[in-house]
Structures are given as structure tokens and as C-alpha cells.
């Protein structure tokens, strides 16, 4: 008799559940609704796939992106599960065949786009054949206060209420603030659900913020030693994607691009090139990536700062889904703030009513991500704190913790705040650049024409590095000693707290780069286990061959983590092969002979 543990091993190749998985599975099997907030890579899909295989009836999974559905269905079919999807990518004939197979009961799990729920033929099907469970993936899309609101998600509750028998409802998301969780519960109509938040921390991810003078140069420097690794570079506009893609392509990198301005055919081909490892780097807008279960992404670089932390964490979380070490790097420039500010204020239809409350909410979110990028506290602590999760002040595995130390900046803070106050006394307010120029004694024409070189603070920080002044200025803004007013031109003005520094002489501490930066400390990140790299390359080559023959991405056959485990275990029998992480009964039958044969041959040749 099958049970959850047998399904876990026989179909998916694992012997133990990850944190939170078993609790959600038990709740669903007991007939309870559920809301699970689990980080990317935590195994959310198994939480509903295993109950779906143990329940009698159809499970409907509502998913926002075609790529997500295809990926999940492809992976399920590869382990022997009858899964189908309904979305706009199907031809009329394929759509009709899928409906026929559903009608005849040839499906355990159906993935469907929310826009398809009210199609006449699907409505006719669900009028006869009700679902035993409805799963809402990427459930944060139901909330306008989340980072990826989808109006089509608002009709999901209407669809469920229209079914002849109410199913179990399960909602899953990787990122949700308390407000978004409230919206999920109410707008989807969950009844006394089992709710779990397993924690947002992912120990295998290393977070870093860089403030390069030239982003292209910094990107090339980062990618050069990683030319064999798979990664994503996110840009905030199509124009930037094109520029970065062209630069990398001209330098010989195997790079693809993805944005909404490309033709559908080109977008699909570029996505497949990345998924099938024909191209190792994808340069894309945030239109790419949701639901892409590519397990071997080793790095995610944000070439531009996103509009909020939720978007950043979800996009960055596409690295390291296999549990191996991965890096998430944000390239910050002050211009990113102004671009995002403009996009937020002009994001709606020109004819639509402006939702001022939503705009102000999104501007506050922009402040949060700006503080993340410019602040000096532990990056992991800042991320986890945003989601309401406590974290130590020092994680030892982010760029701030590894390169900064606490420094007394009282004198520097007094000089900067005094500059803002002196300008205000003359009825003047300027942006950050002008303030820094005044403090450093710049002789530019505007300063001289406005006689700002007569200020007592002119040139008072001439010996300080520009970046140091900018970092301290950002810190004073974050701590609300100073305020940035955004309009046609962002300006800095004093806040009520400014008097604490100038008049009360309050000491000010912040973390700044160490005089001598020590090697990055990542001792708290799970250490990579040793494995035979020569055998790994041979196994990876075999995986590619088998994947190409099956016309499927390599990671669907086996993840890199599974190949590494094969290298460590070097199984010689089918029973030993079943002990490899990610190897179940179906994959043993499908791939076991080929992989075992290669391992035996390698062992014989190497004489081990």
C-alpha cells in the first residue's frame, strides 16, 4: 500500500522530507485547507503533489506562467505521474485532446492558467468532474499589496465556489508579508487552514551588494571565472537587457536574452537555450524566471535594483535551487532609485484612475530595498527582518558582514548635516551629488555661480573619498537624520533628528569597509562535499545525451546535486543506485542501466 514515504522515494527519489513539507502534506491528507509560505528551493511542489497522488480524484493547480506549468508537467511525467496542462500555448487540437483525457480520467494533476478557469469547455468538465483539491501556486499574486498582483487571481474564489463540491484549498508562495498573507486567506476563502511559514532563510545563498563605478566592467569581471556556470542577470528595462546581452555576446559568452519586446518564438527559443544548457547566462527583465525550476543556477546578478524586496528575494532565490552554494549579487547605483521611482509613479494606464495609496505603498517598498542596497547592517538580517523574521546581527555569509566594521562617524556626520543646514539657511536645497561636490570643494561652474564656495563647509571633506561621503550620506538618510524629497529632481533636506548631530553632539556609529578586507568568510554556509570531478563531467555528458534524446532539459533527467551524490557513492548495483538522492523507482528503470554502466567503466579504467 502506498503512503507518503513510499511516494516520496518511489516517484521523487528522496528518503526524508524537508522542513515543513510533511506537516503540510499531513494537513492536506486530513482534509484541511493550507497556506504555506516556503522559500524558493524548499520543495513546495511536493507538498501538494504527494497528496494528489494519494487522493482519489483530480487535483487542479492554478499557476500564473506557462513556463512554470510546462516545467512541472515535464518533471512529473519523467517520474511516471499522469499530469497535464491547459494554457494559451496549446493548439486547438492539443487543447481538445487534453480536455478529452481529463474527461476520461487520464490525469492525476492538472496545471491551468487562471484565465482558463472560465472557458466554456472547462466549465462543462468541472460541472461533471469536481476536483478533490485546488492548489493556488504563487498565491501572493492575489494581493494588490504584493509585488506581483494579477487581477485574474481575484476570480479563483468565484471558480471554487462554482464547483458542485468544495475541494480542499491549498495556497503556496515563497514571499509574503503579513498583509499579503491576510489577503491570501480572505480572498481565496480558506477555512480554518493549517498555516505554516518555514522561514525565509536559505543558508546556501551568499548575498552581496556591489557599488561599481562601471557596471559592465564589474559584470565582465564577475562572469569571466564562471564561464561554465549557469546564471541569470536581471535588468530593469528592455533597452538595458539588449545592451548587456550585446556586450556579453561580443565578448564570447554563451548568453541568451529575454524580455517582453521579443517575438514569442524568439523568447521561447532563448528560454529553451538556457534551460537546455545551450546558453549558460540569461540576461532578462523580471518577465523571466517565475516557475523556472532550473536547479543548477549558480548565481543571480541584479544589474539594476528592483522596486521592492519581495521581487528581489524571489528573483535572487532562483539561484541554488538544488541546495548547492550559489551567489546573489546586487549592483547598486543611485540612478536605479530614480528610475524605479518614475516607473512606480507612471506604472498605470494613462486613462486609469490613479490609486494614490498604492503608489505611496510602493514608494515605501522602494525605500526598503534602497536601504538594503545602501545600508551597512547584515544583508541577511535586513532581508529576513522585512518578512518579520528575526536574525542575528552578524551572519558571516554576506558582503556586509565580511567587509565592514563598526566605525565612529560623528565628525563626518556633523559636516554633512551642517552642509545641508547651511544651504537651507540660504534658501537652497540640492541633491546628493551637489552636496558631495560642496563638501569636497569642487570648482564646478554651478557652485561658483551660486557662490556656494563661500559656505563655511565648502571643501571641509576634501580629503575624504567620494564613495565614503556618499555611503555616510545614504546612512544619514536611512536613519532619518536627513530626508530625500522626490519630484522633478530629488533633493536632500534636514529632518527633525538633524539637531541631535549638530546641536546635541550625539555620537554616531556605522559600519564601513575595513581598512584591510579579509577573505570572505562563509564558514556558516554548508560546505561543499568532496566528489570526483572527472566522473562528474562524464556523468554530466551522459545526462546531456539522454536529455537531448528525450527532448527535455538536463536537470529533468537528474539535478547536479544527484550527479554529485553519484560521484560520492559510486553505486554499482540497482539497489545502491536507489540510494542516490533524487533517484526513484521510475528513474532507476529509465536511466539506471546507462549511469551504472558508465560508473562501472570509469571505476575499471581508473583502477579504483
Q: In whole numbers, what is the pLDDT of the chain averaged over residues?
A: 88
What CATH code is assigned to 410-507? Answer: 1.10.10.10
What does R_g of the chain's alpha carbons equal in angstroms?
A: 27
What CATH code is assigned to 4-197? Answer: 3.40.50.300
Q: Which CATH class is domain 533-606?
A: mainly alpha
For the chain, the domains span: 4-197, 205-400, 410-507, 533-606
User: Is the separation of the CB atoms in 236 and 340 below 8 Å?
Assistant: yes
pLDDT value of position 72 = 87
Tell me whether the CATH fold assigned to 4-197 matches the one assigned to 205-400.
Answer: yes
How far does CA 519 lie from the centroid of its chain?
27
The helix (H) or strand (E) run that includes residue 407 is strand 404-408
pLDDT value of position 360 = 87
| 523, pLDDT greater than 70 | no
Euclidean distance between CA atoms 240 and 246, whole angstroms: 10
Q: Phi/psi of residue 98, each to 5°?
A: -65, -45
Strands 109-112 and 326-331: unpaired
Span 192-200, average pLDDT? 90
Q: Is 464 exposed, middle or buried (0-12, 13-18, 19+ CB in 10 A)?
A: middle
Percent of the chain with pLDDT over 70: 94
pLDDT digits (tens, 9 = 90+) for 447-485: 999 999 999 999 999 999 888 898 899 889 988 899 988
pLDDT digits (tens, 9 = 90+) for 203-225: 899 999 999 999 999 999 999 99
Q: Phi/psi of residue 156, each to 5°?
A: -65, -45
**89: confidence class by pLDDT, cuts 50, 70, 90:** confident
Of 522, 520, 515, 519, residue with least CA distance to 407: 515
User: Is the separation of the CB atoms in 337 and 371 below 8 Å?
Assistant: no
Most confident segment among 119-133, 293-307, 513-527: 293-307
**514: confidence class by pLDDT, cuts 50, 70, 90:** low
List for the chain the helix, strand, coil content (%; round to 5).
Answer: 50, 15, 40
Span 548-558, average pLDDT? 88
Euclidean distance between CA atoms 331 and 340, whole angstroms: 14
Euclidean distance between CA atoms 556 and 79, whole angstroms: 9
Euclidean distance between CA atoms 238 and 258, whole angstroms: 9
Other CB atoms closer than 10 Å to residue 598's CB: what's the count? 16
pLDDT value of position 485 = 86
Q: pTM, whole model, 2 decimals?
A: 0.68
Euclidean distance between CA atoms 371 and 377, whole angstroms: 10
Between 3.90.1170.50, 3.40.50.300, 3.40.50.2000, 3.30.300.30, what CATH number should domain 205-400 receive?
A: 3.40.50.300
In this structure, what is the dihedral angle of CA atoms 318, 324, 325, 329, given to the nearest 10 degrees?
-10
pLDDT value of position 353 = 58
Instruction: Name the grid cell of 72.
Output: 512541472
Span 121-143, average pLDDT? 88
| 41, pLDDT greater than 80 | no
**150: confidence class by pLDDT, cuts 50, 70, 90:** confident
pLDDT value of position 400 = 87
**305: confidence class by pLDDT, cuts 50, 70, 90:** very high
| 571, pLDDT greater than 70 | yes
pLDDT digits (tens, 9 = 90+) for 329-382: 999 998 899 888 888 888 665 545 567 888 888 898 999 999 899 887 889 988
Span 105-112, average pLDDT? 90
Amino acid at each position: 500500500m502506498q503512503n507518503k514515504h513510499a511516494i516520496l522515494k518511489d516517484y521523487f527519489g528522496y528518503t526524508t522530507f524537508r522542513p515543513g513539507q510533511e506537516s503540510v502534506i499531513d494537513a492536506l491528507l486530513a482534509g484541511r485547507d493550507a497556506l504555506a509560505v516556503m522559500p524558493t528551493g524548499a520543495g513546495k511542489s511536493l507538498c501538494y503533489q504527494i497528496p494528489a497522488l494519494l487522493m482519489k480524484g483530480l487535483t487542479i493547480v492554478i499557476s500564473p506562467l506557462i513556463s512554470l506549468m510546462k516545467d512541472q508537467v515535464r518533471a512529473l511525467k519523467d517520474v511516471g505521474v499522469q499530469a497535464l496542462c491547459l494554457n494559451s500555448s496549446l493548439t486547438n487540437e492539443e487543447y481538445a485532446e487534453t480536455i478529452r483525457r481529463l474527461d476520461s480520467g487520464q490525469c492525476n494533476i492538472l496545471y491551468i492558467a487562471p484565465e482558463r478557469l472560465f472557458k466554456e469547455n472547462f466549465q462543462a468538465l468541472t460541472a461533471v468532474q469536481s476536483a478533490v483539491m485546488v492548489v493556488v501556486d504563487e498565491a501572493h499574486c492575489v494581493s494588490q499589496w504584493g509585488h506581483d498582483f494579477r487581477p485574474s487571481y481575484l476570480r479563483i474564489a468565484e471558480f471554487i465556489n462554482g464547483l458542485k463540491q468544495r475541494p480542499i484549498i491549498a495556497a503556496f508562495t515563497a514571499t509574503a508579508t503579513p498583509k499579503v498573507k491576510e489577503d491570501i486567506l480572505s480572498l481565496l476563502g480558506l477555512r480554518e487552514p493549517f498555516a505554516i511559514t518555514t522561514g525565509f532563510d536559505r543558508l546556501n545563498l551568499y548575498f552581496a551588494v556591489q557599488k561599481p563605478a562601471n557596471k559592465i566592467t564589474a559584470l565582465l569581471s564577475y562572469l569571466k571565472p564562471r564561464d561554465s556556470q549557469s546564471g541569470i542577470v536581471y535588468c530593469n528595462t528592455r533597452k538595458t537587457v539588449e545592451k548587456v546581452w550585446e556586450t556579453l555576446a561580443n565578448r564570447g559568452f554563451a548568453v541568451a536574452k529575454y524580455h517582453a519586446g521579443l517575438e514569442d518564438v524568439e523568447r521561447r527559443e532563448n528560454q529553451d537555450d538556457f534551460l537546455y544548457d545551450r546558453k549558460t547566462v540569461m540576461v532578462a527583465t523580471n518577465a523571466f524566471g517565475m516557475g523556472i525550476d532550473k536547479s543548477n543556477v549558480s548565481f543571480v546578478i541584479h544589474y539594476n535594483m528592483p522596486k521592492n524586496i519581495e521581487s528581489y528575494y524571489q528573483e535572487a532565490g532562483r539561484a541554488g535551487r538544488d541546495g548547492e552554494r550559489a551567489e546573489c549579487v546586487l549592483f547598486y547605483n543611485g540612478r536605479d532609485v530614480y528610475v524605479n521611482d518614475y516607473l512606480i509613479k507612471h506604472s498605470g494606464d494613462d486613462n486609469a484612475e490613479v490609486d494614490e495609496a498604492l503608489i505611496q505603498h510602493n514608494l515605501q517598498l522602494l525605500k526598503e530595498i534602497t536601504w538594503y542596497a545602501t545600508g551597512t547592517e547584515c544583508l541577511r538580517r535586513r532581508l529576513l527582518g522585512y518578512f518579520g523574521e528575526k536574525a542575528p546581527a552578524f551572519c558571516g555569509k554576506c558582503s556586509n558582514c565580511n567587509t565592514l566594521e563598526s566605525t565612529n562617524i560623528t565628525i563626518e556626520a556633523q559636516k554633512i548635516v551642517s552642509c545641508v543646514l547651511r544651504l537651507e539657511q540660504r534658501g537652497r536645497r540640492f541633491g546628493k551629488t551637489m552636496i558631495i561636490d560642496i563638501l569636497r570643494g569642487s570648482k564646478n561652474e554651478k557652485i561658483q555661480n551660486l557662490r556656494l564656495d563661500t559656505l563655511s563647509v565648502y571643501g571641509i571633506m576634501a580629503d575624504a573619498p567620494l564613495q565614503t561621503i556618499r555611503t555616510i550620506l545614504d546612512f544619514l538618510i536611512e536613519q532619518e537624520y536627513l530626508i530625500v524629497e522626490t519630484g522633478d529632481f530629488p533633493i536632500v533636506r534636514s529632518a527633525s533628528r538633524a539637531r541631535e548631530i549638530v546641536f546635541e553632539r550625539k555620537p554616531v556609529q556605522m559600519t564601513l569597509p575595513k581598512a584591510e578586507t579579509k577573505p570572505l568568510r562563509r564558514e556558516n554556509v554548508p560546505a561543499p562535499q568532496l566528489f570526483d570531478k572527472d566522473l562528474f563531467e562524464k556523468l554530466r555528458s551522459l545526462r546531456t545525451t539522454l536529455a537531448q534524446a528525450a527532448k527535455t532539459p538536463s536537470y529533468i533527467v537528474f539535478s547536479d546535486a544527484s550527479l554529485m551524490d553519484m560521484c560520492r557513492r559510486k553505486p554499482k548495483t540497482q539497489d545502491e543506485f536507489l540510494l542516490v538522492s533524487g533517484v526513484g523507482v521510475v528513474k532507476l528503470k529509465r536511466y539506471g542501466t546507462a549511469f551504472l554502466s558508465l560508473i562501472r567503466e570509469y571505476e575499471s579504467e581508473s583502477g579504483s
